Amino acid sequence: MNDLFGIQQSLKNLGIQESNLGSSTGTTWLDSGAASLASFSPADGKKIASVQLATEETYEAVVAQALVAFETWRNVPAPKRGDIVREIGNALREVKADLGKLVSYEMGKSYQEGLGEVQEMIDICDFAVGLSRQLYGLTMHSERPGHRMYEQWHALGIVGIISAFNFPVAVWSWNTALAWVCGDVCLWKPSEKAPLSAIACQHIVAKIFAQQGLPEGISNLIVGDSSIGALISHDSRIPLVSATGSTRMGKAVGKAVGERLGRSLLELGGNNAIIITEHADLEIAIRGALFGAVGTAGQRCTTTRRLIVQENVYETVKNRLAAAFGKLVIGNPLDEKNHVGPLIDTQAVEHYLAAIAQVKAAGGKAVVEGGVLAGAGYESGCYVKPAIYEAENHFDIVQHETFAPILYLIKYSTLPEAIALQNGVPQGLSSAIMTTNMREAEAFLAVSGSDCGIANVNIGTSGAEIGGAFGGEKETGGGRESGSDSWKAYMRRQTNTINYSTQLPLAQGIKFDI
């Protein structure tokens, strides 16, 4: 294990050691006897640790224990479940610096973003605590005398969670915090590109459940490749599968879960745009576009990939953005003077270079040229230059999501044209408009405006708060996580009718007398 910026001490503080580098059901870490997976940091290319992969036998053992744990957990009163999630939030507060550092080093996002991701976990725990006393149903008036009707919500069972590398811990917490207060148990398959962050989280939360005298299996971790994801997707014992990742992956998960008539909650690709009108406050617009395009090195599902700019301010925006890109400092994400860290691995770099080649071949023009960085500090081969290219919305590469810091500039004339461009891609996650004109803002938010699950005014496309439901439309999958009433995805609805009369009238006035 490395000691870059104190990472080795952080690993120790998080309880990561050779005895727990694998899958677990609660505090019980399982020895699968299988091959191991090495986790390398894109920051310096060094190996952090090796993690044991799960086998099908490991998977079966974990699911069996989860089913047993559910029988106990679902009968714990919801407010008490909320109290336990409160303790998890407090435990995360204590390790925020160490966990944020691990997320940054293992995934490559800046340390500030790593801290922000842990804060997001803390925030969703706080949200879930309040939610534990608000799992409301409705009451309805019956058409039959002497009857009353109401609905209630019950726990589903095991929630399978398949998460992506770019948010190695936060998206898991969106699911688990809500699922736990709803009475579900969770089975997590993290990205094999960031397994240590997941192991740290499992260590933290399993300890809390154990301290409460609860059975093993409320929180479960399965470290494995896509074959484990396939097991989860096809397993009828898992009523809900929440999957975050590419559209390609989501289609496979959705098909498998759908064939067994299970539920899937899909958070998939984004191809997000900001519209900058001639009435925009350019100070806000440039800052929003800059972070949206280069934050997390362009590896957010909400990353700004297209900038749709009104023709009267197009040249000004282009020049100011180019100047801003020129001031970016690229380097080790744990060094807080750096704005941009590395891509996750060299395969991501290859995709980045291929996208640049494709946009140029289609006729795109470089505003800020991309390229791979080399030399001292860039030995991992994962550091690239954030790039800007003038392009057309119909270019094939522009229609697809590239998980890298490449921004496409697109010119428009009228606002209806801009909205059509914004909507003219297969994905529908996040969108934004920069304008001080109320009519433009309202037109963007209207039913004929943005077709995305998220539509912002005078802020960028990334950086969602946990209070709102997060998710998108079209090839983004249609799922909703985090705030608002997203909790309903983790429960089953039951309608109840109670007859307290001495008669048995039938609904719709049907007569059935003998």
175 against 512, higher pLDDT: 175
Q: What is the percent of the chain where pLDDT is above 90?
A: 94
Across the range 386-393, mean pLDDT stands at: 98
pLDDT at 514: 83
| Cα 226 from Cα 234, distance rounded (Å) | 12
What's at 107, amino acid-wise? M
Across the range 243-249, mean pLDDT stands at: 96
**pLDDT above 60 for 176:** yes
Q: Residues 79, 128: contact at Cβ < 8 Å? A: no
Q: Which residue has the tokens 């953005």?
A: 321
Q: What rounded mean pLDDT belongs to the chain?
A: 96
Give the number of residues written for the chain: 514
**pLDDT above 90 for 31:** no
pLDDT at 3: 62
Q: What is the pLDDT of residues 270-323, one digit of tens each?
A: 999 999 999 999 999 999 999 999 999 999 999 999 999 999 999 999 999 999
Across the range 185-196, mean pLDDT stands at: 97
Which of helix, strand or coil describes residue 300?
coil
Beta pairing partners, 33: none
Query: Which among 159, 268, 204 is positioned nearest to 24, based on CA atoms?
Result: 204
Q: How far is CA 215 from CA 90, 177, 218, 219, 220, in A?
A: 21, 18, 7, 10, 12
- Which residue out of 125, 182, 201, 301 is catalytically annotated? 301
Q: Residues 196, 48: contact at Cβ < 8 Å? A: yes
**pLDDT above 90 for 344:** yes
What does the longest C-alpha to C-alpha distance in the chain come to?
92
**pLDDT above 60 for 332:** yes
Across the range 405-433, mean pLDDT stands at: 98
Q: What is the pLDDT of residues 143-160, one digit of tens each?
A: 999 999 999 999 999 999
Strands 263-267 and 240-244: parallel
In the annotation, is 452 catalytic? no
What's at 105, amino acid-wise? Y
Q: What is the DSSP string of 119-186?
A: HHHHHHHHHHHHHTT-----EE--SSTTEEEEEEEEE-SEEEEE--SSSTTHHHHHHHHHHHHTT-EE
**pLDDT above 70 for 55:** yes
Tokens encoding 6 = 């104190």
Across the range 173-185, mean pLDDT stands at: 98
**Residue 463 pLDDT grade (very low, low, confident, very high; cuts 50, 70, 90):** confident
**pLDDT above 70 for 1:** no
pLDDT at 2: 53
In the annotation, is 267 catalytic? yes
Burial 481-501 (b: 16+ CB within 10 A, else e): bbbeebbebbbeeeeeeeeee
pLDDT at 34: 82
- At 283, which helix (H) or strand (E)? helix 282-294
Least-confidence region, from 11-20, 55-64, 205-214, 484-493 = 11-20
Beta pairing partners, 377: none
Q: How far is CA 183 from CA 55, 70, 77, 257, 492, in A?
A: 28, 8, 8, 21, 11
**Residue 236 pLDDT grade (very low, low, confident, very high; cuts 50, 70, 90):** very high
**pLDDT above 70 for 103:** yes
Across the range 357-368, mean pLDDT stands at: 98
Q: What is the pLDDT of residues 301-313, one digit of tens each?
A: 999 999 999 999 9
Q: What is the percent of the chain where pLDDT is above 70?
A: 99
- At 228, which helix (H) or strand (E)? helix 226-234
| Cα 444 from Cα 432, distance rounded (Å) | 8
Name every residue whose Cβ is closer than 8 Å to that of residue 388 and which is 6 or more positions away in sequence.
293, 318, 321, 322, 325, 366, 367, 368, 406, 407, 408, 409
- Which residue out of 113, 117, 120, 267 is catalytically annotated? 267
Strands 219-221 and 185-189: parallel
pLDDT at 5: 74
